[in-house]
Amino acid sequence: MIILGFESSCDETGVAAVCTERGLLAHALHSQVAMHQEYGGVVPELASRDHIRRALPLTREVLDKAGLSLGDVDAVAYTAGPGLAGALLVGASVAQSLAWALEVPAVPVHHLEGHLLSPLLADPVPEFPFVALLVSGGHTQLMRVDGVGSYELLGETLDDAAGEAFDKTAKLLGLGYPGGPALSRLAQQGDASQYQLPRPMLRSQDLDFSFSGLKTAVLTKVRAQKTPLSDQQMADLAAATEEAIVDVLAGKALKAMKQTGLRRLVVAGGVGANRLLRERLVGTMEKRGGKVFFPPLELCTDNGAMIAHAAALRIKAGLERLEPTNHAFTVRP
């Protein structure tokens, strides 16, 4: 089966074609970062309008790259939530309209399941069961994954997500949007030991997280300075922030491995692109005889491939009723 997938939950329009037998055939992505940059964050209405502009040209690009025509498509998948309501509605209506016109089923996909299963797009493919550390702009969760559709939540953030901690601290330091990659780049020139920041909940017995206090701690450091931060101090503070977030994520991931007795860890979501987090987890897991798996770097942040791929895996697992529907739909922001 050939599945065409759409992602439009936030500020990236992603389209991809996945074959249930041959895997990812092609994908295309348009990032709206440049458009939202001058506002310092995502403007939902602008995001929706841009998804409308990009969806069909990207679809054409994907079909061309994969050497397919619309008639080859057997199902159309789309992100049904969570995300920005207007942005989700664009992807959902494009996908449902195409499915209706092609007389094929439409498959709504949960955005986080897309992220969660995206490491299975990499080589080598992790075998089930594994622990998943899901770290995006909106979510921070540890899950036990026994198979497609079989997920147990082990712990999650009680307030801000890890990506949010990166983004909010970056904004505080005037690094603009998107903050995570900017803060991480600056951190490379910094010395983390120059600032002591808390590791919230690192020692708690559960597998939950809390990141909102970190942003406040950074703000307190900035305010305590009598003069504006020098470039070096900014870099030091960025390094200290990154170090604190990575310490907590790696510490809790390790605790989850111990609690479940599993040896495979899978990392997914935008923060999974973070260099320090990758290095730390690889090092820690190697020492303990475990193995860590990441999605291909370009598929860590939002993309259409993970949505088409999650739909393909759900179809293969018999979890989708592929009957022609009336194509009435809703999204779950």
Binding-site annotation: residue ranges for substrate: 134-138, 167, 180, 274
Closer to Zn ion by Cβ: residue 83 or 105: 83
Pick the closest to residue 10 from 82, 59, 76, 61 (CA basis): 82
CA distance 197 to 125: 36
Question: Of ligand KG4, Zn ion, none, which one does residue 138 interact with (CB within 5 to 8 Å by kind)?
Answer: ligand KG4
Give the nearest distance from C-beta 114 to ligand KG4 in angstroms: 9
Closer to Zn ion by Cβ: residue 23 or 138: 138
Give the nearest distance from C-beta 305 to ligand KG4 in angstroms: 13
- Three-state DSSP string of 257-290: HHHHCCCEEEEECHHHHCHHHHHHHHHHHHHCCC
**Binding status of residue 7 toward ligand KG4 by CB under 6 A:** no
Site string for ligand KG4, 27-66 (x = CB under 6 A): ----------------------------------------
CA distance 68 to 62: 8
CA distance 96 to 118: 23
Closer to ligand KG4 by Cβ: residue 72 or 159: 159
Question: Of ligand KG4, Zn ion, none, which one does residue 274 interact with (CB within 5 to 8 Å by kind)?
Answer: ligand KG4
**Binding status of residue 163 toward ligand KG4 by CB under 6 A:** yes
Closer to Zn ion by Cβ: residue 93 or 118: 118
Closer to Zn ion by Cβ: residue 167 or 302: 302
Site string for ligand KG4, 222-251 (x = CB under 6 A): ------------------------------
Q: In the set 84, 94, 237, 273, which binds ligand KG4 (CB under 6 A)?
A: 273
Q: In the set 126, 137, 155, 190, which binds ligand KG4 (CB under 6 A)?
A: 137
Q: In the set 26, 271, 292, 331, which binds ligand KG4 (CB under 6 A)?
A: 271
Site string for ligand KG4, 278-307 (x = CB under 6 A): -----------------------xx-----
Q: In the set 129, 149, 176, 181, which binds ligand KG4 (CB under 6 A)?
A: 181
Question: Of ligand KG4, Zn ion, none, which one does residue 163 interact with (CB within 5 to 8 Å by kind)?
Answer: ligand KG4
